Amino acid sequence: MTTIAFQGEAGAYSQEAIFQTFGAETPTLPCHAFDEIFRAVEIGRADLGLLPIENSTAGAINQAYDLLLDSDLKISGEVIFRVRHCLLANAGVAVNDLQRVHSHPQALAQCERYLAAHGWQPVTAYDTAGAAKQLAQTREANAAAIASETAARLYGLNILARGIEDLHNNYTRFFLIGHAEAPRMEKSKTSIVFATRHTPGALYDCLGHFAARGINLAKLESRPDRKRPWHYVFYLDFEGHREDSACRDALFDLLGKASFLKVLGSYPAANVPNEK
């Protein structure tokens, strides 16, 4: 079976996204950091990596973009996962017993109103699943953790509440990364990174090649060029496959305008889950 690497402890939302997308029996490999996902795939410890690229409420994950630029691995798919934060506690602990809640800073921020309404103290942890694991080990009787249902199951914790995030349209978009190109599908996306020449209208000229061919741009993100201060690279997602005639022609013309161009991958486009 295909082994998929992810960042975080067992029970992390990334692992839950893998199980939800590929099945609960999918072999997974926990990694401490994003760059370890890339290394695990590069040396064959994992077949694919699941890399979070952006969150619908928190925005882009900049380190992920930088790693994609430096790596030879290709984007072979995308996963869009609805994040449902759960309040977990040890057996016998009730909501009225709680004084503190442990979790990753982003999860705490996404549940800020819920925590404030109960008067609980937020306590930061390495990640959500790590907070759940630590809570199960310490057996704290007046503390809880914000983590996934998978973490609750793995660490023997009770779920006191589900869906405690302040904004329920909370989705994380992931890229699947690997050595192989994805098969061409009718509904595809392509991700590229490019740099413009430092002249007036350079970005306009680059993007115009897509507009002229009726290609829809799904996302545009700028990042500092780490080799040249005050210069930038642009990460662009557009609808279509790089082998489609219109996309191929647009990329060819872009190559003549840009100072740098790298195709990160063409892959099947994911649907946003229709969930409440």
Q: pLDDT tens-digit profile of 145-199?
A: 999 999 999 999 999 999 999 998 899 999 999 999 998 898 999 999 999 998 9
Mean of all residue pLDDT scores within the chain: 95
* 172 annotated active-site: yes
Mean pLDDT of 31-36: 96
* pLDDT at residue 212, rounded to an integer: 96
* pLDDT at residue 48, rounded to an integer: 98
Sorted by where each starts, the structural domains of the chain and their CATH numbers stand as 4-82+170-178 (3.40.190.10), 86-162 (3.40.190.10), 188-268 (3.30.70.260)
274: Cβ contacts below 8 Å, ≥ 6 apart: none
Given pLDDT bands bounded at 50, 70 and 90, which one contains residue 122?
Answer: very high
Q: Which of 28, 150, 172, 196 is catalytic?
A: 172
Q: Which of 22, 174, 175, 234 is catalytic?
A: 174
Phi and psi of 236, rounded to 5°? -130, 130
- pTM of the full predicted structure? 0.91
* 124 annotated active-site: no
SS3 content of the chain, % helix, strand, coil (to 5): 30, 35, 35
